[in-house]
Structure formats: structure tokens, C-alpha cells
């Protein structure tokens, strides 16, 4: 019994000492995606600033594959000492429902640190489709069931979510990436799409696509103030793309607070906010508890949608 108590005491003392001297070596930042995407770009904007704040190098480690699950498995297996953190997004929360054989539990195996960024997403249509807003689109889809093609460069979850909450009947057409899906939409091979605003608004301005609604928020975005929210036609509809940081479960609370504080200070600088706005995104500062709720809400949102789609992909 005494030996057991001594081990517990020494473990607690070790964790406390580690927290007080943290960090004393480089920190690995796992991104569960290939280099070049929006999440990778955001991380590479933050990492140098976080390195300076911590006094240690923050190394960005891209671990793409299997919908981001390979990277998250590596993060979940890492030691809970603050020297491995991971970037999660809406995709990781969705994956809990989309994959039945995950080797990690997002809510149990990871500790939320801070939310960072929220990307604006929009619904756009082929400009010759006779609709000018989301209400007209939904009415058109109901008048012509099965005739609309919803194109997507990912697993089509947004389209299925739209079908689930509105009851409209439309065909989901998947492409190998967002660029080819946008190209097909511009060419008239598809009818409607929901994607990041930054990727399609230039085509909207050029008249090649028509913007129907903001889909990432129930209110208008300061980045696109003239664009009404889809929630105006579909109350409560909100399908944001967010990014934030998590650490392996049981990472000391002092380290979580240190990381949260440094990230918040970085994201509050006007220079950083300007860079993020230029990506068509907004800084979305949220602490551990708030970000934890965001993740849990997203995790709980998708099982019924996936069930309506026919079940998990594996």
C-alpha cells in the first residue's frame, strides 16, 4: 500500500515539475491531412508564432490518409506530456459516425485545448439554374425530386445533411477533390454545391456561379455581409468548418492552460486576424471547455445523418 502511494506521489510530482518547466524540447503539431489545404495553411501561420511564444520549435507534422484517421491515431497514442498536439476539424468529429472501426475515441482519448478558426462556407449553384436563393432552391428541389445534382469534393456529408434536414430528394455526386467538383459545377454538370467561400466566391464575382446562402452560421458573416444565411430558409441549419487544437488525454492541466493562453494571444493580434480573414475565415477563439462542447455537439450531430445514408463507410 505504501509503495502504491509512493508511486502515485512521485508520478504527480513528476507531472507537476514537467508542467513548470514546459516546454524544454520541440513540440510536434500533428495535422491529420496532406500539406497544402486550408487547415495546413492555418497551422503554418500559427506555428512560427507559437514557437516564439513557447521558446521551443513547433514542428508541423502532416499525417494524411484514411480521412485523417492515421494522424489522429498517432496523436492518441502519444505521451500526454504536451510535446504532441494535434489539429482537429469538423472532419474528425464527423469521422466518429462515418467510421465504425476507429482505433481511437476522439472524446475519450483527446483533451480539447482551444478552438482557433472557423471557415465560412456557402451554397452556390450553376447560374442558369432558375433559383436565386436557398428558399427557391429547396422549392425547386421539391417540385423536381431527384433532378438536382449536389456535387461535392469530399464524402458528400454536407449534401446528405442538407437532404436530412430538409427532406429534399437530390443526387449526391462525389469527385476526387473540391477543384474538379467546382469545375463540373461551372460547366453545368452539377447544379448545387456547399463548400468554402474562399474557393468559390471569385467564380461568383465573375458570374460563373451564383451564391445562394451562407451555410456556416445562422447569422450573416462580416466577411460576406450581403449573403443571407441558409438558416433563414431552414431554421437552425449550421454546418461550419472549424479548426482547433487537442492534446492526448491526461495531458497536465497547467500545460493545457499554457497552450490555450499562447494560442489566444496569437489569434488576437490584428496581423493574424487579417491573414486569416484573407483565407475567407474568421478567428474563433474558444477555450478548452467551449471547444470540448463544440466537438461533442458535432460528434452527436452526425450519427442520424450517416444512418440515413446507409450506415458507416466501414
Backbone angles phi, psi at 111, to 5 degrees: -110, 125
**pLDDT, tens digit, 9 for 90 and up, residues 250-276:** 999 999 999 999 999 999 999 989 988
Residue 155 has pLDDT above 70, yes or no: no
Instruction: Enumerate the domain spans of the chain.
Output: 2-118+241-309, 121-215
Instruction: Give tens-digit pLDDT for 56-109.
Output: 999 999 998 888 899 999 999 999 999 999 999 998 999 999 888 899 999 999
Residue ranges with strand state E in 239-290: 241-248, 281-286
Within a 13 Å sphere around the CA of 79, how many CA atoms are in the beta-carbon half? 7
Average pLDDT of the chain, as a whole number:
89
Q: Which long-range contacts (CB under 8 A, 24 or more apart) does 199-203 make?
A: 199/280, 200/122, 200/124, 201/122, 201/280, 203/124
What CATH number is given for 2-118+241-309 in this structure?
Answer: 3.40.190.150
Give the lowest-confidence range in 108-112, 117-121, 131-135: 117-121
Decide whether 2-118+241-309 matches 121-215 in CATH topology: yes
Architecture per CATH, domain 121-215, reads as 3-Layer(aba) Sandwich (3.40)
Query: What is the percent of the chain where pLDDT is above 70?
Result: 92
DSSP 144: S
**pLDDT confidence band for 313 (50 / 70 / 90):** low
User: What average pLDDT does the segment 33-41 reach?
Assistant: 78
Q: Quickly state the pLDDT bin for 314 (edges 50, 70, 90).
A: low
Confidence (pLDDT) at 253:
96
Amino acid at each position: 500500500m505504501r509503495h502504491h502511494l509512493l508511486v502515485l506521489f512521485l508520478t504527480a510530482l513528476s507531472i507537476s515539475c514537467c508542467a513548470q518547466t514546459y516546454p524544454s524540447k520541440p513540440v510536434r503539431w500533428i495535422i491529420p491531412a496532406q500539406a497544402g489545404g486550408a487547415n495546413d495553411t492555418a497551422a503554418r501561420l500559427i506555428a512560427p508564432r507559437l514557437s516564439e511564444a513557447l521558446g521551443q520549435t513547433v514542428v508541423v507534422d502532416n499525417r494524411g490518409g484514411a480521412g485523417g484517421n492515421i494522424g489522429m491515431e498517432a496523436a492518441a497514442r502519444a505521451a500526454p506530456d504536451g510535446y504532441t498536439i494535434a489539429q482537429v476539424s469538423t472532419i474528425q468529429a464527423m469521422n466518429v459516425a462515418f467510421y465504425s472501426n476507429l482505433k481511437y475515441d476522439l472524446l475519450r482519448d483527446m483533451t480539447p485545448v482551444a478552438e482557433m478558426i472557423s471557415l465560412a462556407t456557402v451554397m452556390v449553384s450553376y447560374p442558369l439554374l432558375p433559383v436565386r436563393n436557398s428558399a427557391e432552391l429547396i422549392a425547386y428541389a421539391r417540385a423536381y425530386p431527384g433532378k438536382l445534382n449536389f456535387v461535392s469534393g469530399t464524402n458528400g456529408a454536407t449534401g446528405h445533411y442538407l437532404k436530412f434536414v430538409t427532406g429534399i430528394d437530390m443526387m449526391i455526386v462525389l469527385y476526387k477533390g473540391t477543384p474538379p467538383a467546382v469545375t463540373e459545377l461551372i460547366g453545368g454538370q452539377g447544379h448545387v454545391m456547399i463548400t468554402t467561400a474562399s474557393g468559390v466566391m471569385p467564380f461568383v464575382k465573375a458570374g460563373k456561379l451564383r451564391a445562394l446562402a451562407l451555410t456556416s452560421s445562422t447569422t450573416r458573416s462580416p466577411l460576406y455581409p450581403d449573403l443571407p444565411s441558409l438558416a433563414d430558409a431552414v431554421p437552425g441549419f449550421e454546418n461550419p468548418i472549424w479548426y482547433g487544437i487537442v492534446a492526448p488525454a491526461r495531458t497536465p492541466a497547467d500545460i493545457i492552460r499554457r497552450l490555450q493562453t499562447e494560442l489566444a494571444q496569437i489569434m488576437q493580434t490584428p496581423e493574424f486576424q487579417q491573414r486569416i480573414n484573407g483565407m475567407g475565415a474568421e478567428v474563433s477563439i474558444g477555450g478548452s471547455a467551449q471547444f470540448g462542447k463544440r466537438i461533442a455537439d458535432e460528434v452527436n450531430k452526425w450519427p442520424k445523418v450517416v444512418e440515413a445514408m446507409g450506415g458507416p463507410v466501414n
